[in-house]
Every structure is written in C-alpha cells, then in structure tokens.
Structure 1
Amino acid sequence: MLIGEVARRSGVSARMLRHYDALGLVRPTGRTVGGYREYSAEDVRRIFHVESLRSLGLSLHQVAQALGDPAFTPDALVGDLIRWTRERLDRERELLERLHAIDASAPADWQDVLRVVALMQGLDSPHAARRQQAVLARQDDVPVPAELLAKAVLAEPDPVVSGALRWALARAGDAGVTALAAALHDDDPAVRLRAVRALTDLAEVPQAAAALEDALADPDPAVRRPAALTLGRRGTTAAVPVLVGMVVDGVNDVDAADVLGALSEDPACADRVLAALTGELAAPGADSATRIRLTQALVELPGPGGREVLDRLSRDGDPAVARVAAAFAKLLEERP
C-alpha cells in the first residue's frame, strides 16, 4: 500500500508516517518503481503497535525501545507511566480548581483575575507570614471565592494564619459551608478539626449548624468538643452528652459546665443535664478527681435539683468529694 492509503486506513497522517520513517520507527519495506514508499501488511501492523503504545503515554523513543529490544521489559516503564500520569492529573486537577475559583469570583476584568491569582500564590507560600498577609491584604470590594478560602483553611497548620482565614471565610458568607461540611468526612482528624473550627464561626448559617451536629458523633473527641461548645451555647440539647463527657475527661470542663448550666435554664433540658451528671457520678470506676469535677458542674445548674444532689454528696463516702460538695452547698445557700 502507498502512504496515502495507509494514512487513510490507519488514521495516522502521511506527515507522521514520514516522521516515523525518518526516525527508523516504521520504515516501509518496499518502494515502487517511481520511488514511492510501499508498506507491507507487517509494516501496517507495526504502525498500529506504535499507535497503541503511544496511547499509553510512551514517547517515540520509548516506543522504539519497546519494539526494538526483545529484552526491554514493560513492568518498570508501566510503573513510571502510572506515576507520571497521576502527577499530571494532580496538576490538571489543581489547575481546574484554580479556574473554578477564578470563575466563582465573577471577575469583571483581568485585574480582578490577577488579584485572585495573587491571593492563590500567597496562600501557596511556604511562609506563614506571607500566607497571613495574603489573606489580610485583600481589598473589601474584591470578592474572594469562599471555596478557595475553605480549601486553604482546611490545609492550614499555623493557628494564627488559620484564624485569619476563618475570619475571611466568615466575612465571605455561607458559600464555603458546603466544602467545610464535606471535610467532616475526611479520613484525617486534623482536617475534620479545622473544618469544625471554621464552621463554629458560621454557626448562624443553618447548614453550618447542621454540620456541627453531625460532628457531635465524630470518633475523635477533639473534633466533637468545639462543636458541642458552639452548639450548646446556641441552645442545642444534642450537645449535652459531649459536654458532660468533657467534664468527665477534664478537657475544657469549666467551659462545658458553664454551657450545661445555660442549657439547664430550659426546664425541658434541666432534668436531662442533671441525670447525665448524676449518672457519671455513680458510674463504676469514677475516680475522685472526676467526681469532684462533676460536683463542681452541679453548681452551675439552676433550680433545686443540683442543690439536692450536692446535699447528698456532702455525705459521700469519698472525703474529698464530700468536702467539695459541702462547700458548694453552703455557697449556694448563701446566694441571694
């Protein structure tokens, strides 16, 4: 077959076939009387082999090696191709995210585009001070894609920069809530904690509050606790078990006790809080320090329920608990 027919049947342009010939990759085995290239069936088969390997991402040099060296093994090269392809996909995915972020900012002109790009470059800096400056130096009249800020806050390890990002994200409204809520399902507890902390600044948004309620069931107590404090302050009774657990564990127990006291202002919740605290007081294996913290939490509860429990605890078999309970019971009696 002449080169034109081969090009038509194979889909490889005549120009590329001549290039293959020049490289020695696919050389036609024959020539016509007029000197034109003439391809045999075996030549055409080799063309298809070349195209098949090129479709896997091999360079022409690698294709020549694969087809010309019987000792050339594919395993290492295929492994390299997988790695290179993953790296390329990561770069393209990052580019796509950047383009979406620019599109979300609804740029009016190229200056707006350049400002968003400058923010992206600043957030990608290895220096925390540069990242913080990129957040704080933005102009109020230039919209910043909330999704971009959400992604940055989820990856930010520096607490100062994270605070600046959360501030900027809160000012951007509720557009970043979806990304933060999705991050609550991340395998990394550090990412989930960052998401919760950002969501606490957006707790007025119904979707953010709902996401924080989901975080109450997180397997990591460090993620559950800030969600419980925020929700409890907003009157969400679903936070009670986690808040009581904070008192038991001695982590932010004073804050947790304050929130439990505020929740107990609602009679519908007061009995639940009192029952949870007294249940932990009677739990088998509760040590003296834990029971003292629970006793202190009872002081924050309004109404007679907490006082009655304190009176009973003033006669507790643990002398340390009894002394603390008696002191608090007396203090409550002296209150107006």
Structure 2
Amino acid sequence: MPDNPQPLVSPADVPGFVCAYRFAADGTARKLTEADIDPELSSPEGEWLWLHLNFIDRRCGRWLARSGRFSTLAIDFIEHIPTYQLIECFAADAAGSVADLRRDFEGETHETCRLHFLLSENVLVTLRAKPIRSAELIRRQLDAGRALETPAQLLLAFFSHYAQGIESVLQDLATEIELIEDRVLEERVSDERRRAVIVRREAAMLHRQQRALRRVLSDAQRSAPRFPADLSDLLELHAHLDQEFEQIEQRARLFHDEIDAKLAAETNRQLYRLSVLTALFLPPTLVGGLFGMNLEGIPWSGVHGGFWFATAAALISSAGTWLFLRYLDRS
C-alpha cells in the first residue's frame, strides 16, 4: 500500500465541470480544460470567462463561494434555488433560475428543465442538472468562431436560443394540429381525441414555463434596465410566443370539443340503429312467444301450414313497427 495515497478529490478539480471558454477583448473564444480554470476564476485584463457546471455535484456552490468572485447573496441564491423562475440583481452580481429545453441525444425534445446562472462583470457561471439545448448550441457556435464581447451578451444568447427552441416546438404542435384537422374534416376520427389531448397538455405546460420566463425578464429589465442587455426584442418575441401558444391551445380545445361531438353523434347513431333493431324484433318475439305456449285454443294449431301463418304475422308486425317509426321520424 503506498505511503502517500492520492486524495479522491484533488483541490484543483472543478466540481461538475462540463466546459469552459475564455473570451478575448474582441469577443473571440478559446476553449479551456479543467486544468486551465483558476480556483479564483481570474482572467487576464480585458478578458472574461464562461464556466458551465453540472449542478448534480452539490459541491458547486461551496467551490464558487471559495472563488471569492460573487457576493454572499448570489452564492446563497445558488445554494437555495427557488422552485419557481426568478432573476435577482445584487450590487455587482446577478443570479437567476430560468427555464430551458432539455437536450436529448436522440433528437429534439419538448421537455423543459432549469438553467441556473451567476453573472458578474467578467464571469458567467451557468449550472444545470440535465443537459440543456441552449448550452450545446452555444458551444457549437463558439467552436465555429462566434464572438461575444461580454458575459451579458452570452447570457442573452441563452435566453434567445430558448425562445427560438420554443418557436420550433410551436411549429411541431401546429403541424400536429393541422394533421388532426385534416382527419376531422375527412370524417376519419379514430385516435385524434387522444392526440388533441396530448397537444393541449404539452402546449399548456410549455406556455406556463414561457409565460413565467417572460414575466421574470420583464421584472429584471424594470428593476435593472441595463441587465443583461437590451431585452426589448426578446420580450417582443415572447409576446409573439404568447399569442402563438394561445392560438394553439384554442385550436386544440376546439378540435377536442368537435371530436367529442362527432364521437357522441356516432354513438347516438349506433344507439338509434340498436333501438330500431330492438323495436323491429320485439313484435316477432311477442308473436313467437304467444305461439310457443302449449295451451288449447292457439290459432292455426290444427291447420295445415299454420307455421307459415304465424311467420307472416311476425313479419307483418315488424313491417308495421317499421312504418310507425318512419311516421314518427317524418312528424
């Protein structure tokens, strides 16, 4: 056994490290490894740092507190994340927890998750418990040469990618609604009711998250007009998304009700047919029951061909019932 065993966790380790980039004064980015990260999150003059962490590692908050780059209130916010979306602006820092779309390695997903962040003058730290779509898109853009001059612009890029992702989800939901509409207009209703319910539920859940984010961004801009940048275009896009969500939910509700009405009408038609058949077979059943009694005095019991007389009586009774039902329909 070695005399000096290596510790399981090195003091130089960055808890939950996912990726990091250092940005020059002109906004160009250089990818960093975990070994390149200074525990004090320092950067050369005129440069700034983006650090992306996996919040599953609960040491993240304590490690960020030891860096000394963020206020006690900002660190306390990260260590006690609220259950709702919120952005808090402190003296020189900002902290927040907002919605984002989860990244699925098998393709696009409509599931939402949370993005937490700490923003200071020269550092942006983002934290997540599940892979998020915006972070992956931004990493690809940075590797392709995209330039960002300030941490606030990078944070705004996260918000913009989420809004664009929601737009893509809305297009998928609108396409699904149009397919349901085509089936309904063609009178080929089968599982469209279940599909309409799924669209309504998904649109309602996403709309709830998007509406909360819009409120949070509006509050942040009102309380700190310079945070993180000019949000007017982004808020205008969210207003447009609100209208799109309302239209999707309204159309899904309309088709849901129309499908229910069509299914109810089809059920009524089936019940009407069953009622007609019951009414048509009731008189012959009565005739058959009467002639089935083994009693004296039954008509045609001693007449050759009496069976055919009874059969004719049953048919005549059914025909009479049918004519009576037609008369009721016309009247």
TM over 0.5, shorter chain: no
Give the alignment's TM-score, normalised by structure 1: 0.26
Higher strand share: 2
Q: Which is greater in Rg? A: 2
Higher helix share: 1
Q: Which has the higher contact order (CA 8 A, sep 6+)?
A: 2
